[in-house]
Amino acid sequence: MSDHLPAFPASTILGYPRIGPRRELKRALESFWSGATTKADLAEAGAALRTRTRTHLTDLGLDPQAAAIPSDFSYYDQVLSTAVAVGAIPERFGIDASTPISLADYSRLARGDAETAPLELTKWFDTNYHYLVPEIGPDTPLRHAPGSAPVAEFAEAQATGVHTRPVVVGPVTLLALAKGTDPLARLDELVAVYQQLLAELAAAGATWVQLDEPALVSDNGAVPAAQLGEAADRAYRTLAATADRPGILVAAPYGDLRERFATLAGTGVEAIALDLVKGEIPDDGALAHARGLTLVAGLVDGHNVWRTDLHAAAERLQHLRAAHDGPVSVATSTSLLHVPHTVADETDLPEQLRSWLAFADEKVGEVLALTAGPETAPEAFTTSRAVREDRSGALGVRRDEVRRRTAALTAADTERADASERATAQQERLNLPSLPTTTIGSFPQTGDLRRARAQRRKGELTEEQYAEVIRGEISRVIELQTELGLDVLVHGEPERNDMVQYFAELLDGFAVTQHGWVQSYGSRCTRPSILWGDVSRPAPMTVEWTRYAASLTDKPVKGMLTGPVTILAWSFVRDDLPLGEVADQVALALRDEVSDLEHAGIGVIQVDEPALRELLPLRADDHQAYLDWSVRSFRLATSGAATHTQVHTHLCYSEFGEVIDAIDGLGADVTSLEAARSAMEVVPELAEAGFSRGIGPGVWDIHSPRVPSEAEIVDLLGRALAAVPDRQLWVNPDCGLKTRGYTETVESLRNLVAATEQTRASR
Ligand code: MET
Ligand SMILES: [Zn+2]
């Protein structure tokens, strides 16, 4: 470590959106992948975005000389970029890791090719961002790759006169997120590689580096919680002892470090960033371990879009400054990766709602205002107070009829008749064969559909013309399913741009942005809706389409709704009401929809909860309270259903282990789950947990265009039937088909039906 470490900047952010205000990175990546542009074009687009970000953050007021501007660009994912920088490239890709990796090879790791499957993709902590899972087995090479992106991008900024702070994922988190035998077995080797990386950064002139260690605030990772503290201690003592290195900031976003704060503080690192939105200020005992260290107070929420209550934040800052013997800086709680670029772009939002919001750029301003304090930045504080008052009293934020309804709820509202009684009544009504076949809801979203939606938006199609297009699509989808011989049909969801936004647009209490894109993974972005007020349903949302589908067939048609937890998880949710209460409001709106579907004669209704696992809190002792409200809200949405109405649910994207009891608690008559890739592993798990209602473990991995063979599906069904009786098993794909094409959809569903018939015949 150099003797003269410059002070950590007074104000900073832990990261900034990489995708670009008009999704420039998305376009550059996709045209490179399609072959329309070259790697030089992509590199140029990346450099232009980085330059724009540095200039823009400087203009917004972050210090361009003092390591206040994070250098956190990545062409696809920061976990992948860090893995590449430490040479952790699985041998199966056949990539030479001794020279900086090409953009083509980098893309191959993320996307695979004809011969090689890509790295697995999974959710990043409790966010809707997805990272690529590093593969670090006993033999995976780990080696310093000189000239890797963190160093090159730091140097690029230096050349333009901006002294940035390189950001990489820390070694403990990289291993905790990796797939391999014993994730921590390679810790010492990996830390040695980080030492070389730090030395190279120091040689390039970096004064500070940020190592992101969110794994330290979670109990849910691959490393047993008990070993995380020890791993952090070992890793950071070694890193701190590196001879030539920049100052080390360890960032712990998304939660509370708890006892691991004192551990980290004792390792010799110079600074720790605390998420004070999710976590608490360490107590005096813990702070005693941190004397002289810089604490970076994450007081501005990087993971939601509301303006900060600057007075409350300033009070906590004051408290921390008084309690801590050492410098205190101000920052966002997490990277701003999770929020859109700027509210200024949202010219279509109602002016009042707009004034309550802070996206990435506005949050930089809040960090600076907090650092300055109410004396120096009085307008910011006055505005903050005015916004709070305006928001709490605004029309629609609190609606008596909604509050009265949630306040009057009782346990009876979450109960249905006994499950076996329901099963009998439903079978009598639906008269289904054994091993009933169905799909998860959506059918391929064709170019024609997307065009029709765009034309409707531009006013080029009237409502009636648009409805005609949708009806045409529904009748095609019903015809196809009839021809394929499926048992429970769906309308195909052609009217939905997105399974959450569709409902957000129809419910009161939500707003939709124009440019509010956030990166989900790689070039994929989502545009979360904003849930700002009390939620209610002004009119039925799905009944017309479902009724139309049902009118075309004698087979049962399944109504399709998105569940309360998923609606919350994929929106920006108000921060002035407990999530459980917001979930109840959404649940009641859905409950009314269920009732209307029943009145329209629909006998099967599915309420999707793919995000149930995603919102699971990072700390084990918070799990129960979450599972209580999430399960309750689902039951509230569905328990109004009559005994003879069959309620389905669908979950995907997760290891279900930790939520098995919750899945049972949902009480759905039929539960479909993603299972094809894990060879039906979830079926025996559910059976062992005593789950006795219908189960539809997916037999077709819909995440790739590959068509599963009939024999393969027969094999999967055999595995499932080894664990559960025939009467429990349903046959369906892993998830909806909206991202698939019709060619593979038809072939795969044909095989699915044939495999089911073959299995039925053999029983
Ligand atoms: C991410 S879960 C998707 C469920 C939805 N019903 C669909 O089929 O698209
Ligand atoms: Zn799904």
Q: In this model, does residue 97 exceed pLDDT 90?
A: no
CA 365 / ligand 1 centre spacing (Å): 38
pLDDT for the residue numbered 221: 77
CA 669 / ligand 2 centre spacing (Å): 17
Residue 264 pLDDT level (bands cut at 50, 70, 90): very high
Phi-psi region of 296 (alpha: psi -120 to 50; beta: other; left: phi over 0): beta
Residue numbers belonging to the annotated binding site for L-homocysteine: 440-442, 608
Contact 232, 263 (CB under 8 A): yes
In this structure, the residue with its CA closest to atom 3 of ligand 1 is 736
Do the strands 571-573 and 508-511 form a parallel or antiparallel pair, or are they unpaired? unpaired
Residue 674 pLDDT level (bands cut at 50, 70, 90): very high
All domains in the chain, ordered by first residue: 24-112+121-341+354-393 (3.20.20.210), 421-649+662-672+737-761 (3.20.20.210)
Inter-CA distances, 685 with 133, 152, 723, 729, Å: 24, 48, 9, 14
Catalytic residue, candidates 289, 623, 644, 703: 703
CA 435 / ligand 2 centre spacing (Å): 20
Give the nearest ligand 1 atom to 441 CA. Answer: 8
447-475 tens-digit pLDDT: 999 999 999 999 999 999 999 999 999 99
Q: Ligand nearest 734 Cα, by number?
A: 2
169-184 tens-digit pLDDT: 999 999 999 998 787 8
C-alpha to C-alpha distance for 605 and 594, rounded to whole angstroms: 7
**Contact 695 CB / ligand 1 (< 6 Å):** no
Average pLDDT over residues 54-79: 98
Q: Ligand nearest 499 Cα, by number?
A: 1
**Contact 735 CB / ligand 1 (< 6 Å):** yes
Residue 3 pLDDT level (bands cut at 50, 70, 90): low
Q: How many CA atoms lie within 13 A of 471 on its CB side?
A: 11
533-565 tens-digit pLDDT: 999 999 999 999 999 999 999 999 999 999 999
**Contact 631 CB / ligand 1 (< 6 Å):** no
Q: In this model, does residue 2 exceed pLDDT 60?
A: no
pLDDT for the residue numbered 654: 67
**Contact 738 CB / ligand 1 (< 6 Å):** yes
**Contact 441 CB / ligand 1 (< 6 Å):** yes
> Active-site residue 703, yes or no?
yes
Average pLDDT over residues 326-336: 98
CA 357 / ligand 1 centre spacing (Å): 30
Average pLDDT over residues 83-92: 94
Q: Ligand nearest 496 Cα, by number?
A: 1
C-alpha to C-alpha distance for 524 and 202, rounded to whole angstroms: 34
Residue numbers belonging to the annotated binding site: 26, 128, 440-442, 493, 524-525, 570, 608, 650, 652, 674, 735
pLDDT for the residue numbered 655: 76
C-alpha to C-alpha distance for 377 and 501, rounded to whole angstroms: 37
Q: In this model, does residue 656 exceed pLDDT 90?
A: no
Inter-CA distances, 640 with 412, 417, 447, Å: 10, 10, 38
Q: In this model, does residue 133 exceed pLDDT 60?
A: yes
**Contact 736 CB / ligand 1 (< 6 Å):** yes
Inter-CA distances, 264 with 206, 275, 517, 752, Å: 22, 15, 35, 53
CA 734 / ligand 1 centre spacing (Å): 9
